[in-house]
Each structure stands twice: as structure tokens, then as C-alpha cells.
Structure 1
Amino acid sequence: MLKRYSYLLVAALLATATARAQTAPPETRPLLGFEPASAATELQLEKQFDAQLKADNLRQWMKRMAAHPHHVGSPYDKDNAEFMAALFKSWGYETRIDVSYVLFPTPKLRALELVAPTRYVAGLAEKPVAEDATSGQTAEQLPTYNAFSKDGDVTAELVFVNYGVPKDYEELERRGIDVKGKIVIAKYGGSWRGIKPKVAAEKGAIGCLIYSDPKDDGYAQGDVYPKGPFKPETGAQRGSVMDMPTFPGDPLTPGYGSTKNAKRLDLSKATTLTQIPCLPISYGDAQPLLAALAGPMAPADWRGALPIPYHLGPGPAKVHLQLAFNWKTEPIYNVIATLKGSTLADEWIMRGNHHDAWVNGASDPLSGMVAELEEARALGELVKTGWRPKRTIMFCAWDGEEPGLLGSTEWAETNAKAIQEHVVAYLNTDNSDRGFLGVSGSHTLEKFFNQVGRDVPDPEKAGMSIIERRRAYDLVEGSPDAQKDARDRPDLRIGALGAGSDYSPYIQHLGVPSMNVGFGGEGQGGEYHSIFDSFDDFTRFKDPTFAYGVALAQTMGRCVLRLADADVLPFEFQNFSNTVAKYGTEVKQLAETMRTETDKQAKLLTENRYEAVADPTKTLLPPKAKEAVPYLNFAPLDNALLKLEQSAQAYAQARKANSTLPAGRQKELDQLLYQAEQLLLSTEGLPRRPWYRHQIYAPGFYTGYGVKTLPGIREAVEERKWAEADEQIKRTAAAVERFSAQVSRAAAVAAPGPAQ
């Protein structure tokens, strides 16, 4: 519960938001990219759009589409695609279903048992509940498993590794514990699931188990399902463990589309499969295994909420893990619905959400998919009144997202040339529920999105926009940096994109400006990737009235409408410049902090004082000595950031001085604006993962979904690869300079007078 001052703060922000609304009537609010007259027309159109939105449509579509499991390869997955295609066609869209053929393994054998010091056979099954109408569809459900785990039959001692991230293994090493030849058991959380078997294999483990501890996801949070929303004893999280930080998409067609006749790698050559067998289990199945461990007690912050002492092992617990999979190629169905633009048809606005799920998938992904459908329906109604978008709008329903962004990646790789020539922006949603706005994306769209969010009312806070409610949350609950930004910046700072949904191929491989938007924070629960992600669960605990589903449709509908109809595309570069400069400061501070810590550690080790300082009980080994951190040359990056600041300012001044451009220059400017992001790509890509080409944003090699900004530099510094860090500074600086030169060209076209 928020403290009393939190409520006072929210109340103050509510009053501020209301005052702003009173002093700035909606019809007079400026819109980035619109001249005053066309801005007024646009705002009126958005009122008509809002009037069309109906929560009951979202409810009925979710109930229908979540009625059966619809994973890749299932009959209902195809049925849902055909259902959506029929809807789009009925609303006036040119609609087709594009089919790709992808590797999708399903389990044919799963076995886990504790063989010493006692015996326990894991159930590996989720127990249906009477209160959930679809949880008992056992014959149609995929069992609990990790897709793209390796086949294997292993028996070994067990070691508890906390969340199984690199720093956890450092703690084990300090306790003299080696996982080589062992099976590890890790908690969900702390990183994306695929990082856990990846790091375990690097450390020499031969198998990996992953469970959700009730401290993080279960009865320690509140009542479990169906009484409450949290994970019950038999609940388990399915999910892919493909090495997506290397590349997403079909493992057998790396970098090119998996069309029916595409050349495919032999399975033994696929580099994004795990190197060891990996299996998710429930906390009910995890408890007997953990209870059988001996050895040192786990650090206090590693211990969960199970009623057992948390020991590290290894042993005497010994487990047998056996997995075998059907390595089949399955069709996936991407629904593409197009509304052609009237005057700028060769500029495309793409709006996407995936439709496949691990089981019934009401929250993930249908909460976002049904909002997208309602946006498309409402736009179809506007067309009936005589409106037509200037630019082409494409609504996409992706298949195969859950196993590894298969549908969106394969479609992007198949159509890469057309995408880079025509796509203005890609707008993504995924699962969404009640609560606070969450938005990440290209910071060239940050000011644009702030104007969108300014004009969408929050469903639960009358008189407050979704942006202002998010600002209130950041002021109270945010990190120190988020609190400072919320106080000091006129615009809400949006997050950076890592991985985890279908925007990844568009921004990180092809350089398309992208955004990912949703709501959350109040629809708590442990249904994720389980049989309990159902219509019954969603309508009880997530968004019962679909009010936030409508808010999502209002938000994304405005994004689509404004991008489609703007006189000049609403890109802005000063916020981007400010944000990238912040990233530059962070990587420099990272290197300096590492230098200070390394010097301090070296001094303590030299003086043989480390144990006395860090471990008075003398039960830990001293850390290994680390190489000194050199002084890196950040001058190329600093100079590039200065050029970026100057070009961003020049463009802002040009647009301010000249808001009206002739049609020919508008089109020339548009292309310069939306293709600028492509200049932040490098042809070489990131070290050891060339598929990721963006030099500003990428998923972390050891974080998975989590973003690394200035990734080439940051990860080289974190991994103490100093020569690589110097090279990545130069490469990143070159990308920023290319981008700055494009912004300067845009400023010249936008400036008053004849085109320059």
C-alpha cells in the first residue's frame, strides 16, 4: 500500500492535470507534425474514433479466441488466424494470411525424479480447477516444457544456483562450489529464462531445472488461484529457452525467411538451441528436490518461501532428468490487413500483436490482440464516413511469437527490402491489464508519444491522463533517476527496447523506428504461460471491465491515426540526443566504477585483508584478482554526441521557423525522417551476434529480454574486453555521426526558403 504522502502527491498531480486541461482546451493543443488547421481536424477525428470503441467487442473476441489452446501447430491456432482475417475483410481491409514454416519442438518424453538420498517422482502436470472452464482441456494442452531445450538423459548431483545468472555463480565459486558435471536448479526471475541454461552450460552443468518460488510467484504474494490470482502449487511456466540474444526466429534459417522451400540447416548445426536439457517445474515438484540438498546454507537473499532450509548442495540430492522432443516443422499464420493510403500510399504504418499462446493465452497475448482488432474495426467505421488515411496502415497478427518471435522475424527477413524502403514505424503491443502505462521505443518518437498519452484519459483516475498517472507513479515508486526525470523533464522519458516481443526484428535488425506499449501493475497474478492464463482468470483478476483494453485501443489508435495523417512525420531528435548522451555518461561511469572497485579489491588482496573486510566469518574464498581497468578513449563518442545535439537543435529550429512545406518537400522530408534510424545500424552487427545491428539498443547477451543501451560498448566494458571496447566506441560513434548527418539533411529540407 502507498504511504499517505503518495496519495497526496497523486492528488496534487491530478489537480495539475485538471488545471492543464482547463487552460489548454483539446482543440487548441499542438500536434507534432500537424499544421494548426489539420491538427484541429485530427483531434475531431479522434473523438469520432473514441466513440466507436466498445469494451464488449474485446470481451467477446477474447472469450472466443481463448476458448481452446492455440499454440503453434494446433488446429485452433489456424482457426484463430482465419477468424481474424475474416473480421479484417469484413471491415474493408485487403487481407491475406502469409505462411512460414518453422522448427517447433514438442515433448515426447519428460521424466524427472529424485534418486538419492530418497526417491521422489515429479508429477510435471498442472492440476485443473473447477472454477476455470478451460483449465481441464488436457488433451489439447501442451505439457509444461521449455521449447528448444536439447534432448538429454542425465543423472547427477543437484546444486541450487538462485536465479542462475552470472553473478550467482561468482557467489558459488566463493563458497568453493563447482557445478561442473552437476544438474542445477534455478528460480524464475532475475533474467530471461533462456539465460539460465545458457550460463549453466558455460559453467559445465549437464542439466537445468527452473521453478517459480512462491516468494516471487505464489502464496507469499497472496491467495493462489482460483481464490486469488497467484500461482498455485502445481503451476509451471512454459517458455522458450532459445538463445534469442544471438538471434530470434527459426533456428534453421538464420537471417533469411523460412519460406516453404527455404534451405534449412541440419538440426545439429543450429546455434540457438540449448547445450543442455532444461525443464520448468512447479514449486510443488521443486520442494522435495530442494529439501534433499545439504551443504552450505544459501545466502539470505537467495532463500525463498518454501517451508524448508535452502541449502546449496551439491548433493546428497541426486536427480535423473530425461527429455526427448519431436523436432517438427510446422506452418505459422501471419495475418496481414492493409488499408491503402490516399496520397502517400508508399509510406506504411505497421501495427502488430501476436496471436499464438502457450495454452489459452487470454492475457498473453489476447489482451493486446483484441485491442488491436477493435482499433482496426473503429478505423473501418471512419472510412465509411469518407475519411481515408494519407499513409498506408497495416494491421498484423503474428504467429509463433512464444517460441522465439518466429512469425514476425521470418516475415521481416522475407520482406526486409520493402520494410526498409516503406515502413515509417512499427507499433507493438502484447499482454496488457489494469494499471500504469508502460512504454518503450525509439526516442525519436518520445515527444510524439507524450502528446498521444496526454490526450488519453486514465480509466481509473478521472481528469488525469495516462501520462500524468505514470508520472505520479514514477515520482513515488520509481528509481532515483525516474523520480528526477518525472520532476524535471517536461516529457515522460520512455524506456529502451530490448527483446521479448515482435518489435525486435524491426528495430534491432532493420532499423525501423518502433514502440511497445501496454498497461500493468494492478492485475497481479501467476498465470503466465500456464493453463490458468484463461478468460476466467483475466475477467476476475486482470481487467474485468476491459476498461484498460479500451484505453490501449485509444492510445494505439491515436498513434496510428497521427502517424498516418500527419503533414510531416512527427519525429523529434532533441529527446533522442538527450537520452543517448545519458547512455554515454552511464558507460563512462560504468568504466570508472569498475576501475575504482578493481583497485580497491587489488589493494585488499595484496595486503591479505580481503577476508577481514568482506567476510569476518572466514567462510568465503577471496575473489579472484581482476585485471586493472585501463582508461578508455571516449573522445570519438563525445564528439559524435556533440554533433547529434547540434543537428537535433538545427532540425527543431527549422521546423519551428517553417511549419508549412510544399507537398514535394514534405515527402522528401518524410523519407529522411523515417529512414534515419537505419543509419544507427552497423553492417557488422554486434560482436558474436551480427543479427543485432542497432548500435543504441539491443537485448543483453546475459539479460535476454532486458535492454543494453550502447550495447557494443557496454558489454565489452562489463566483460572486461578492453580492445573490443575501444573498437565499439569508434563503431558506435560512427553510427551516431551517420545519423546526425541525416538529421542535418532533414533540417536543410525543412528550413525556410528553397530546398537545400
Structure 2
Amino acid sequence: GIPEDYEQLDRMGVSVKGKIVIARYYHSWRGIKPKVAAEHGAIGCLIYSDPHEDGFVPGETFPSGAYRPPDGVQRGSVADMPFYPGDPLTPGVGATKDAKRLKVGEAPTITKIPVLPISYADARPLLAALTGRVAPEGWRGGLGVTYHLGPGPAKVHLKVKSNWDIKPLYDVIGKIPGSTFPDEWVIRGNHHDAWVNGAEDPISGQIAILEEARSLGELVKSGWKPKRTIIYCAWDGEEPGLLGSTEWAEQHYDELRAHGVAYINSDANGRGYLGIEGSHTLEKFSNDIARDISDPETKLSAWKRQQLREISNAKTPEQREEVRRRADLRVPALGSGSDYTAFLQHDGVASLNIGFGGEDGGGIYHSIYDDFYWFTHFSDTDFVYGRALAETGGTAMMRLADADLLPFEFGDFADTVQTYLKELKTLSQKMQDDIRERNKEIQEGVFMATNDPKQPFVPPSTEAVPPHLNFAPFENAVDVLTRSAEEYRKAVERANSSGGAMLRSASLAEVNKLLIDSERKLTTAEGLPNRPWFKHQLYAPGFYTGYAAKTVPAVREAIEQKQWKQADERIIVVARVLEDEAQLISTAAQKLSAAK
């Protein structure tokens, strides 16, 4: 159900115009499937979970095993959240009682065609009734039928009834006031709503932050006071569209821009490896946390276990060598799909998403089977990883709250931005090479000669070879960023020498304010092209991927969509953002170095 699939359908002469599309889960976020179907003229969309992905093919089905049974249905929002998340009727402002609202028909994120999720038991007779060409190999699943493309002759009567009532949501917010820097906020969150029972999603994460909050409360009773204000949040309405967190972050936009130090999110939690994603200014900090958390099963540090996993999973010798050599494990970028979205990508607050998993595969996601029985039989059966998550989140919160100098670091950040630049240059070159080769094959008659007249394909048309993009501004900005990161590293090293005397004499309030603003500098007021709600210039969910992150999204997606002029223009915008970031980092370094 992604754009490339429809390009392939076009070449096979199959149109979905006026038809109901049936699409499989996976390979993109669910909301992309009806979005792209509607763009190609479909009038409805069914989405089913094929057993190939999360049913009887990978393992035993519930209740004998962890995987999705035949009647399991994956619920989920299909709002166009890559355009903006939250209340569809109040984009960019908190959905308070008196907020000005769009009409339902005006809301651009509400899907324009009816959509319904179904089980693979219900999908099987529909798929079996389709005729037409056999589906490409990668489109076939595990249902034991021949997968055809259609259209028809199967017919479906699709009726979806929606309730558009406005109802209140309930975010639960708890604060511990800071004793020294009360206007600097360290924020922790996990949602509390679920589609049905929600034992794994979200309660396995929610119980961890409740334990963190309880433990911090005990410390407060014993006399401890954090230097910075700590805020714990239990969000409502995450499942329908990140509603509770987004509306809170929109309502408190100015306050969060002024006071937000960092936001640490969790969601579902399971058994296995510690996963951390997020802002690369916090990459070293998150690695240090992982080094101090013990993995409950192996007794290795969570960091060491993840490092060994990455060595095992590396696809090339170069990747294995980097994992062994690099001081810190790389932290993946955040796209969307949970409550960090508004904090990072709209408000510009440095964010992390944390959680354990990887050893407890299953197929109960967003279904009625996500219950206590499933969790205690097939996931974190002894609740030891729930405790480990509480240790991870609690340690991170306390270190951020009590640090004299906030633990932002820019060497890993600059290194990561350098990799993004290399990826973009490689992508641009690949598109040039691919189009040149395809044009050559068209001229040679390759497609005509290999076209089966009984199963014909429409040959592609020639295209203009993409121009060379001017990456020089980006390259120069990365060089400046790298130098400023090294300047800051040396300044911190000097300030910490001699027992930290220089650090104590430095104007830490001024330096910390700069560090807090470092993530804000990566945003722009105008946001991304065609979706201004997303203001971060380095991280965003892909417009046609959904949850998955697109790094340097304005440039990357312009290249992917062959908008070459826009790509050149956005390179300049990103370069300016990075230059401003480098200047901020240098200023922080100079203020530290000025201490006597």
C-alpha cells in the first residue's frame, strides 16, 4: 500500500480507481495505506494482518503462543499524522474548551475514504475470490491461497460509521518543584489509554514511570530536592492520534520553548535489549545511562548487551568494526508513533524514547489479546524488565535534574549529521545513476524485448537525468559544526579538570540556557515544506512512511520526490540551521572557557 506499489500496479495495467483496496499491514505505517489508495482514486480500504508477518508463520498463535490468532484484528489510527498529529480540528493550538475548531470536513488529516481493519480469517475468502494477475512475490503472504491482484470479481459492501462527538481527555501531570533551577523542566511521559486491554501497550511502560514517580516521592519525603523541576505525565488519547501529549505541548508551546530541558518517553515495554532513540545531543548521555543499567537476564550492562547484539547483526565488516571502535553506540533518530512527537518536532525539546524488547515477538499488537494472560506468559513474565525500565528512566531523570552542567554533548551529534550528509549525497547520485541506466535500457529496447505478451507490463518512460545538487553549503556547515563540537568538548574537559574548580566558577546558568536552546536551534518557524507543524529540520516522520524517521526530511524527501529545485533550496535552509547551532555551541564553549 505504499507509492512504489502503485507504480508497479500502473505498469501492470491495474487501476484502483473506484475500487476498494485490500492491503496488508507492515512495510509502512497503517495510515499511509488509505492515504495513498485515495490518492489513486480508491473509494475504500481494508487493512488486514497476514499470518506471514505476525500469525502462524513466525510462531504458535494465541493462546498456545504469542502470535496473532485467525480472528485477531489490529486496530489503529489512520489519520494523516505525518501532516500533523493531535486533534484534527485544532492544528497547532491546544484543543481547549474554547479553542477555535475546523469543521470535520475541513480537517486535512482525517482520511477521506472509509477504512476498516480486518482479521486474516476475514481476509482469506476475499483474497481467494480475487482473480487477475498473480501478485508479485513480495506481495504474497502465508494464507495458503494464490494471491491475485484483481480487480474483482469479489465484491465488498463496506460501511463505516464514525462518531464525531467531542469528548474530554484526561492527562495526569505530577510535578516536583526544582530547588535551584525551578524554571528548567525535565519531563517524563507514557500514555495510559489503550485500544482494548493494553497490558503491553501501554501499561507495561506506564507501570515503570509510576514506579519511578513513587521512588522519587520517597526520596522527597526523605529530604531530597531535585535542582530542576521534574514533571511526570500520563497521557490520554495517544492511540487515536497522540492527542493528549500533542494538545498539552501545543497549549504550553511558549512555556516549553522557554523551560523544557528534555523529554523522556516510553510506551510498550518487553523483554530483551534496551532500545534508545532520539536527539543526538543526548547520545552520549543515553549511552552512559545504558552502561549503568544491568540487563536482568544476562547480568551484562544493558549497553554491553546491545553492543554485542549490534556486532552480531552487522551486515558488513565495516559496520562491525565501527560498533567495536566507536565509544558510543549510535542512537536512531525519532520519527513518530508515540508521545515524544510534539515535544521534539514541534516544540524543539530534546527527546529520548526508551524501552526494552526484541526477545518477545508476538502478534497481539492493538488487539483484544493484549491482556494480562498474554503478557505474563509470553513477554516480561517476571516483570524484571519493567523494573529495568524504571531504573533506566529514573536514573536519566535524576541525572538531568541534578546535573550542574547539563549533559548535552555535540561530538556524536556532529558525527551523526556528517552521516546524514553522506547519505543524501549517495541518494542523489544513485537517483542519477538509476535514471541514466533506465533511459539507456529503454533506448536499447530491453523492456520491449523482455515483456511477456501474455502478461504485459507498461514500459517506463524516459526521464530527464537529475541535476547535480549543490551540497557545498551543507558540507561547509558540517565542518563548522564539527569544529564547534570539538571546541565545546575541550572546554568541558578543561572546566572539569583540577577537581572541577573552573566548572564551579563558570556561569552555569548561562551555559545551561544555551544547552537547553540547542535543540530549538534545529527548528524553524516556517517548518517543513507543505507541513509547517513539523518544525525540526533534522528529524520528522516520512510523509509516505509514517512512523519511520526521515532525517534531514526537507532535503531527503525533495530528492526522493524529484523536486530538485526545492532540494537545493532546503540544503541552504538546513545549512543555516547548522551554522546557527555551531555558533551556539561555540558561545557555550567560550563561556565555559572564560571561567577562572
TM over 0.5: yes
Matched with 1:454 is 291
Q: Is 2:408 the counterpart of 1:571?
A: yes
- Deviation (angstroms), 1:610: 2.8
Deviations 1:42-97 (A, max 9, x none): xxxxxxxxxxxxxxxxxxxxxxxxxxxxxxxxxxxxxxxxxxxxxxxxxxxxxxxx
Note the residue ranges of structure 1 that are not aligned, 5 or more in a row: 1-163
Matched with 1:473 is 309
Q: Partner amino acid for 1:693?
A: K
1:712 to 537, 546, 554: 554
**Greater shift in the superposed pair: 218-227 or 234-243:** 218-227
Q: Partner amino acid for 1:711?
A: P
- Deviation (angstroms), 1:365: 0.5
Q: Is 2:233 the counterpart of 1:393?
A: no
- Deviation (angstroms), 1:189: 0.3
Q: Partner amino acid for 1:470?
A: Q
Alignment size in residue pairs: 590
Residue pair 1:503, 1:514 contacting (<8 A) in 2 also: yes
For residues 68-147 of structure 1, the aligned pairs below 5 Å read none
Matched with 1:196 is 33
- Deviation (angstroms), 1:752: 4.3
Q: CA RMSD in A?
A: 1.4
Residue pair 2:68, 2:362 contacting (<8 A) in 1 also: yes
- Alignment partner of 1:576: what SS? helix
- Deviation (angstroms), 1:612: 4.1
Matched with 2:53 is 216
For residues 57-456 of structure 1, the aligned pairs below 5 Å read 164-456=1-293
- Deviation (angstroms), 1:437: 1.4
- Deviation (angstroms), 1:676: 1.1
For residues 2-81 of structure 1, the aligned pairs below 5 Å read none
Q: Partner amino acid for 2:221?
A: K
- Alignment partner of 1:216: what SS? helix
- Alignment partner of 2:100: what SS? coil
* Structure-2 separation of matches of 1:611 and 1:543: 56
- Deviation (angstroms), 1:622: 1.7
Matched with 1:655 is 492
Matched with 2:517 is 675
* Structure-2 separation of matches of 1:424 and 1:616: 63
Q: TM-score, normalised by structure 1?
A: 0.77
- Deviation (angstroms), 1:308: 0.7
- Deviation (angstroms), 1:386: 2.1
1:737 to 571, 579, 588: 579
Q: Partner amino acid for 2:389?
A: L
- Deviation (angstroms), 1:301: 1.8
- Deviation (angstroms), 1:731: 0.7
Distance 1:399 1:478, change over 3 A: farther
**Greater shift in the superposed pair: 314-323 or 690-699:** 314-323
* Structure-2 separation of matches of 1:609 and 1:405: 49
1:546 to 373, 383, 398: 383
Distance 1:675 1:586, change over 3 A: same
Matched with 1:746 is 588
- Deviation (angstroms), 1:739: 0.8
- Deviation (angstroms), 1:693: 0.6
Residue pair 1:601, 1:610 contacting (<8 A) in 2 also: no
2:422 to 578, 585, 593: 585
Residue pair 1:700, 1:707 contacting (<8 A) in 2 also: yes
* Structure-2 separation of matches of 1:340 and 1:351: 14
- Deviation (angstroms), 1:616: 11
- Deviation (angstroms), 1:378: 1.0
- Alignment partner of 2:117: what SS? strand
* Structure-2 separation of matches of 1:612 and 1:483: 43
* Structure-1 separation of matches of 2:447 and 2:587: 57
* Structure-2 separation of matches of 1:662 and 1:617: 79
Matched with 1:534 is 371
Residue pair 1:444, 1:575 contacting (<8 A) in 2 also: yes
Q: Is 2:507 the counterpart of 1:665?
A: yes
Matched with 1:721 is 563
Residue pair 1:577, 1:645 contacting (<8 A) in 2 also: yes
- Alignment partner of 1:518: what SS? strand
- Deviation (angstroms), 1:380: 1.4
* Structure-1 separation of matches of 2:544 and 2:437: 26
Distance 1:482 1:426, change over 3 A: farther
Q: Partner amino acid for 1:453?
A: A
* Structure-1 separation of matches of 2:454 and 2:315: 34
* Structure-1 separation of matches of 2:580 and 2:478: 11
Q: Is 2:358 the counterpart of 1:521?
A: yes
* Structure-2 separation of matches of 1:609 and 1:645: 47
Matched with 1:52 is none
Q: Partner amino acid for 2:110?
A: L
- Deviation (angstroms), 1:384: 2.6
- Deviation (angstroms), 1:623: 2.1
- Deviation (angstroms), 1:318: 1.8
* Structure-2 separation of matches of 1:418 and 1:425: 13
Matched with 1:133 is none
* Structure-2 separation of matches of 1:677 and 1:175: 47
Distance 1:357 1:605, change over 3 A: same
1:703 to 536, 545, 548: 545
- Deviation (angstroms), 1:484: 4.5
- Deviation (angstroms), 1:620: 2.5
Q: Partner amino acid for 1:200?
A: A
- Deviation (angstroms), 1:263: 1.2
Deviations 1:452-489 (A, max 9, x none): 10011111112x11111111111112454754532231
Residue pair 2:269, 2:356 contacting (<8 A) in 1 also: yes
- Deviation (angstroms), 1:593: 0.4
Residue pair 2:280, 2:416 contacting (<8 A) in 1 also: yes
- Deviation (angstroms), 1:336: 0.6
- Alignment partner of 1:322: what SS? coil
Residue pair 2:506, 2:591 contacting (<8 A) in 1 also: no
- Deviation (angstroms), 1:372: 0.3
- Deviation (angstroms), 1:615: 7.4
Residue pair 1:485, 1:493 contacting (<8 A) in 2 also: no
* Structure-2 separation of matches of 1:326 and 1:485: 52
Residue pair 2:506, 2:594 contacting (<8 A) in 1 also: no
* Structure-1 separation of matches of 2:407 and 2:590: 17
Q: Partner amino acid for 2:566?
A: E
Residue pair 1:611, 1:618 contacting (<8 A) in 2 also: no
- Deviation (angstroms), 1:613: 6.3
* Structure-1 separation of matches of 2:96 and 2:571: 38
* Structure-2 separation of matches of 1:720 and 1:632: 11
Deviations 1:289-344 (A, max 9, x none): 00000111111121101021111111111222111211110100111100111111
Matched with 2:436 is 599
